Amino acid sequence: MSGILGIELRRSGALLAGTATAVLGVAGLYLLALTGQTGLWDQQWHLLAVFQRIMLVVLWPLALAAGAWQAGRDRRSRIEELLGTTPAPGWRRLRPSSLATALALAAGYLLVLAAGAPKVATAAGHPGSGWWAVVAVGVLALVAAGFLGLGLGRLLPYAYTPAVLGAGSLAGLLAAIEVTKLDDATVPGPALLLPFFTSTISEFQEVAGSVSTGQAWWLGGLALGGLVLYLATNRLVRLLAVVPPALGLALAAPMLTVTAFPVDTAAVAEVCTTDGGPRVCVTAAHSRKLAVLVAPAREGLRLLAKLPDAPASVHEAAPGRAHPQPASEAWLDSDNLSQAADPAELTARILAGAGTPLCARNEESAYLDVLRARAVAAAWLYGSHPVPGPAYAAAEQAQRDTMWKTLVALPAGEQERRVAAVRAAGLTCGDQAAALGIGAGR
Amino acid sequence: MTTVALYLRSREVPAGVLCAVPAMVAVAWLGSGPAESRHAVTAAALAVALGVAVLGHGLGGPDSTLDATAAIRWAPRRALHLAAILVVAAAVVAIVTTAPVAVVLRDAAGFTGLAALAAALFGRRLAWTLPVVTGCVSAGIPAVPEPFALYLLTWAGQPPDSPVALTTALIFAVAGAAMYVTRGPARPAPL
C-alpha cells in the first residue's frame, strides 16, 4: 500500500494541494505580523485553532477544487477505458488516490498549526486544553472538502468542474454567511454547520466540546458521503451517498444549539503572587503579564490606603467577572494590561474609579461622565492631575481640569468621602459619576 | 466564417460560454444585495473570476504542438481571444451585479491576464487555477487597506477608486497577455 501511496503522491495534484494549503495558511497567519495584529491568534492555543478554522473560508473551496481536479485525472489521460478492463474492482483502484488527497490536505493544515505554534508557545499564558479538538475538526473539514471534490469530480467529469466548484462553492458559502448572520445572535446553530467559523473568540473563551463533536459528526458525514460518491461504481450506490451527510446532520443538529463559545474556566482561573507581599493576581490567560503588573499594583495599593476600608490585593477582572466586588480587593480591567505604556500609567489605571473596573457601557449617555469621574478619583489618589496616560483633546481636558479644581477646593474630609463613594459605587456597579457629584449638571 | 467556426469548435468555446454565462449570472446575482455594498463587490469579483476561469479553458486547443506547426500568425488571434474573454465576462457580470462597473472592468482585466498566464505556464486544462485561487483569496478575505500585502492580495475586492488595485490588475493583465500572446498555451510534455 505504501508503494502505491508513494506513487499516488508523486503522480497527482495532492501534494500540490497540500502545499498550497500550507502556504496560504502560513501567509494568512504571518501577514498579520506586518501590522502587529498577531494578537488575533497568538494569545492562546484556542485562538490559533479557531483562527485556522476561520481561514478555511478560503482553503475549503480550494480543497474542493483540488479534489475535483484529482478526480478527473484518468479521463484527462484517456486511460479510463483501459483501467476499466482490469479485473480489480474500481473502488480498490481509486482508494489510494483518495487517501493521498486526504493525507496531503491534513498535512498542509497541520503544517500551518506547526508554523503558528512557536509564536503561541512564547505568548500564551496557559497551555489550555480542548483546542486540539478544534484542530481535529478543522482537519476533518478540509478532508471532507477533498473527498467531496473527488466525488463531485467523478460525478461531473467535465473540464470546468474544478473551476466551478472552487469559485462557486465560495460564492455559495459567502451567501450562506450573509443568511446565517441575520439570526446569529438568537440561533447560532445554522452558522456552526458551515465548514469554517465566521467569528473569532476572545482569549477567555473556548469552543464548546459538544459543538466540536456535532461538527465532527456533520463534517465526517460529508466526508463519507464524498468518499462513497467517489468510490461508487453504480448508480444505486451513488444514491446512497446522501445517507452519511443526512445521518451526520441529524446527529449534529441537537448538539449545535448550546452556547458555542463559553467562558474557558482554565483561562480565567487566577494566578497570584506568592512572595508574601500584597497579593497581585492575573488570569491564567495573562499569566505572563503578572511580572509587569506586580510593582505598579503594589504602588496602587499603597496609594489606595488613603481611603477607609482600603483594598489589600489587586485582581485582573476578566470580562463578565461576577459582581459585587469585595471591598478588600482592587479590580483592574483586562485590557489595561496591554494598553498601559509604562508602570506609572498602569498604576494610574488601577487607581481609576478607586480600584474598580468600568461598568458603564460605551453606548450609555453617562459613559463620558463616568470616565471623567473615574479619572478625577484616580488623580486624587495619585496626588497629581492629570495622571500619567494618553493625552486628551483640549475641550475634554478642560472639563477634567474644572472637575479636579472643584474637587480639591472641597474640605479634605469631603474629598476623601467623595472618592470613597466612587469606590463604593464601583464595587456594586453603581453610578460613579453621581457618587463623585462633580461635573456637568451636578 | 468557416475558419472562425472551426477555431471556436476546436477550443470548445460554445460549451465554455454555455457554462460560464449561467455560472457568472448565478454568482453575481447571489451577491447583488443593496447597491455598492461590500458583499456585492466581492460577489462580482468572484463571478468574474469564475467566468474567466471557465472561458480560459478555450485558450488552448487539444494539441498545442500541432497548432504551433501551422503557418498562421497566432499572435493577433490570441490577443483577440483574450479581448473577447474580457468583454464577455465584464459585460455579463456588469449587467447582473449592483457593484460599480469600474470594479467589474478592472477585475475582468486582471483575471483575464491571470488566466492567460496560467494557460501559458501550465496549459489550458489548468488555466482555471490562477483566477480561481486569486479570486477565492480576494473574495474570502475582507478587503482591508492595511497591511499593504493584504491590500494587494484583496485587489479584486477593493473599491473602484483604489489606484493600487487598478495597478495590480493592469500588471496581471499586461504580463499575462504578453506571455500568452508571444508564447501561446503551454505544450504538454512529450510522452
Tens of pLDDT along A323-345? 778 888 888 888 888 777 788 88
**CB spacing of A167 vs B46 below 8 angstroms:** yes
**pLDDT value, residue B137:** 92
pTM: 0.90
Residue A359 identity: C
Mutate to test the interface with A, among B19, B107, B129 (most CBs of A within 10 A): B129
Enumerate the residues of chain B whose CB falls inside 8 A of the CB of residue A162.
128, 132
- Max Cα distance, chain B (Å): 53
Taking the Cβ of residue B144 and every Cβ of chain A, the question of whether any pair is shorter than 8 Å is answered with no
Q: How close, in Å, is residue A130 to chain B by CA atoms?
A: 27
**CB spacing of A178 vs B39 below 8 angstroms:** yes
Residues in contact with A284: Cβ distance below 8 Å, sequence separation at least 6, in sequence order: A125, A126, A266, A267, A268, A269, A270, A271
Q: How close, in Å, is residue B56 to chain A by CA atoms?
A: 10
Cβ contacts of A326-332, under 8 Å, gap ≥ 24:
A326/A427, A327/A427, A329/A355, A330/A297, A330/A300, A330/A301, A330/A304, A330/A355, A330/A356, A331/A355, A331/A356, A331/A357, A332/A293, A332/A297, A332/A357
Taking the Cβ of residue B12 and every Cβ of chain A, the question of whether any pair is shorter than 8 Å is answered with yes
Distances (CA, A) of B5 to A363, B18, B55: 66, 16, 16
**pLDDT value, residue A215:** 94
Taking the Cβ of residue B25 and every Cβ of chain A, the question of whether any pair is shorter than 8 Å is answered with no
Across the A:B interface, residue pairs with CB atoms under 8 Å apart total 95
Neighbours of A335 (CB within 10 A): 11
Taking the Cβ of residue B128 and every Cβ of chain A, the question of whether any pair is shorter than 8 Å is answered with yes
pLDDT by residue (tens digit) across A67-97? Answer: 999 999 888 888 888 988 988 888 888 899 9
Q: How close, in Å, is residue A293 to chain B by CA atoms?
A: 31
Question: CA B27, CA A96: separation in Å to the nearest integer?
Answer: 34
Taking the Cβ of residue B147 and every Cβ of chain A, the question of whether any pair is shorter than 8 Å is answered with yes
Do A427 and A420 meet the contact criterion of CB atoms below 8 Å apart? no
**pLDDT value, residue B191:** 45
Q: How close, in Å, is residue A375 to chain B by CA atoms?
A: 33
**CB spacing of B137 vs A160 below 8 angstroms:** no
Q: How close, in Å, is residue A84 to chain B by CA atoms?
A: 22
Enumerate the residues of chain B whose CB falls inside 8 A of the CB of residue A32.
147
Please return the burial class of A27, using the count of CB atoms within 10 Å of its CB with bins 0-12, 13-18 and 19+: middle
| Nearest C-alpha in B relative to A196 | B140
Q: Which three cell numbers stand for residue A322?
A: 461576577
User: Mean of the per-residue pLDDT values for chain A?
Assistant: 87
Span A8-22, mean pLDDT?
Answer: 91
Nearest CB neighbour to A62, from listed B23, B43, B133: B133
**pLDDT value, residue A128:** 81
Q: How close, in Å, is residue A27 to chain B by CA atoms?
A: 10
- B:151-170 residues touching chain A, CB 8 A cutoff: 153
pLDDT by residue (tens digit) across A355-400? Answer: 888 887 777 777 888 888 888 888 888 888 787 878 888 888 888 8
Taking the Cβ of residue B34 and every Cβ of chain A, the question of whether any pair is shorter than 8 Å is answered with no
Enumerate the residues of chain A whose CB falls inside 8 A of the CB of residue B118.
none
Alpha-carbon dihedral B60, A63, B137, A177, rounded to 10 degrees: 130
All residue ranges of chain B with pLDDT < 70 are 33-36, 189-191
Q: Which three cell numbers stand for residue A96?
A: 489510494
Question: CA B180, CA B52: separation in Å to the nearest integer?
Answer: 15
In terms of Cα–Cα distance, which of A115, A34, A59 is closest to B149?
A34
pLDDT by residue (tens digit) across A151-162? Answer: 999 999 999 999
pLDDT by residue (tens digit) across A399-419? Answer: 888 888 888 888 888 888 888
Enumerate the residues of chain B whose CB falls inside 8 A of the CB of residue A60.
none
**CB spacing of B54 vs A62 below 8 angstroms:** no
Nearest CB neighbour to B136, from listed A35, A160, A167: A167
Taking the Cβ of residue B110 and every Cβ of chain A, the question of whether any pair is shorter than 8 Å is answered with no
- Is ipTM > 0.90 here? yes
Q: How close, in Å, is residue A17 to chain B by CA atoms?
A: 11
Q: How close, in Å, is residue B135 to chain A by CA atoms?
A: 7
**CB spacing of A174 vs B39 below 8 angstroms:** yes
The region of weakest confidence among A53-57, A220-224, A361-365 is: A361-365
Question: CA B153, CA B89: separation in Å to the nearest integer?
Answer: 21
pLDDT by residue (tens digit) across A236-252? Answer: 999 999 999 999 999 99
Mutate to test the interface with A, among B21, B96, B121, B128 (most CBs of A within 10 A): B128
Enumerate the residues of chain B whose CB falls inside 8 A of the CB of residue A38.
none
Nearest CB neighbour to B30, from listed A28, A158, A175: A175
pLDDT by residue (tens digit) across A252-270? Answer: 988 888 888 888 888 888 8
Extents of the domains making up chain A: 2-263, 269-436
